[in-house]
Amino acid sequence: MSVFNKVLASIGIGSAHVDTKLERERFRPGDLVTGSVEIIGGSVPQKIDEIYLSVHTTYVKEYDGKKLTQIATIHKIRINEPFEVAPTEKKEIPFTFNLPYETPVTSGKTKVWISTGLDIKNAVDPKDEDFIRIEPNELIQSTFSALEALGFQLRNADCEEAPYRFRKKMPFIQEFEFIPKTGAYKGKLDELEIAFFLKNREEAEVLIEVDRKAKGIAGLFAETLDMDETKVRGFISASEIPVLKEKLNGIISRYV
């Protein structure tokens, strides 16, 4: 083994490679993620101190009048004990973990990916990234369906920095923005925003922001000062799915 090869490996040339293989690419918050990490040795033996998997998303943070894109780590695990990989040797390490319930739905501008990294002493750490699709679970999808039945249409979904009073485990909150296209709320509301804080598959805390449409001079004045927005906090459960439309209608109608 030449010293030259060691030097090259230390800067990433001829170093080990990593490739993460997922059993599937579509998930819901709370789902089990299974797969394996394949490591292929480079041109010299290398000690792999740590293989870690981390789940990431991006969110928007406002600072000094500017919108900055930040990366949030939703989950991180270590899947191995230290070992050595020989030149061109292939090793495969299986893994299993649950997606946190805080994982956002990949709708609108929201993206989620799994990053795999090898921690190799005195070398550039090889990395691999795999984007995954996060679909709404039954409770969130049923809420969407109930809002659509009330005449609302999903316009946008985005992750933004969470105000401290609404911050849970993550520094961001995912907001789903709906606009009234038909039904009783068309012409009465500008938009409706809803955020979910899943406790498990069966329960969620929801934050609903009702943005009333300006009416006349007084309405325009209220809109300018954001006085036309009303925030409502509540809870929904899987047992309420058959009556979610009626429950949401009752909440929204009180603030129109």
pLDDT tens sequence across 156-169: 999 999 877 767 78
pTM for the whole thing?
0.83
- Token pair belonging to 47: 């000690």
Mean pLDDT of the region 144-158: 95
Summarize the confidence of residues 108-136 as an average pLDDT.
83
Instruction: Report pLDDT for 169.
Output: 82
**pLDDT value for 15:** 66
Q: For residue range 52-68, list pLDDT tens digits in order.
A: 999 999 999 988 778 89
Q: What is the pLDDT of residue 121?
A: 62
Average pLDDT, the chain: 84
Cα–Cα dist 80/238, whole Å: 37
Residue 53 C-alpha from the chain's centroid: 15
Task: Report whether 176 contacts 164 (CB < 8 A).
Answer: no
* Mean pLDDT value of segment 118-146: 84
What is residue 115's predicted lDDT score, i.e. its pLDDT?
Answer: 93
Query: What percentage of the chain exceeds 90 in pLDDT?
Result: 58
Which domains are present in the chain?
3-134 (2.60.40.640), 138-253 (no CATH)
What is the pLDDT, as a whole number, of residue 11? 34
State the pLDDT at residue 218.
Answer: 39
Q: How far apart are CA 228 and CA 47, in angstroms?
A: 60
User: What pLDDT, in 10s, does the model give residues 197-238?
Assistant: 999 999 999 999 988 764 544 333 334 334 446 788 889 999
- Which residues lie across from 75 on neighbouring strands? 55
Q: What is the mean pLDDT of residues 117-126?
A: 64
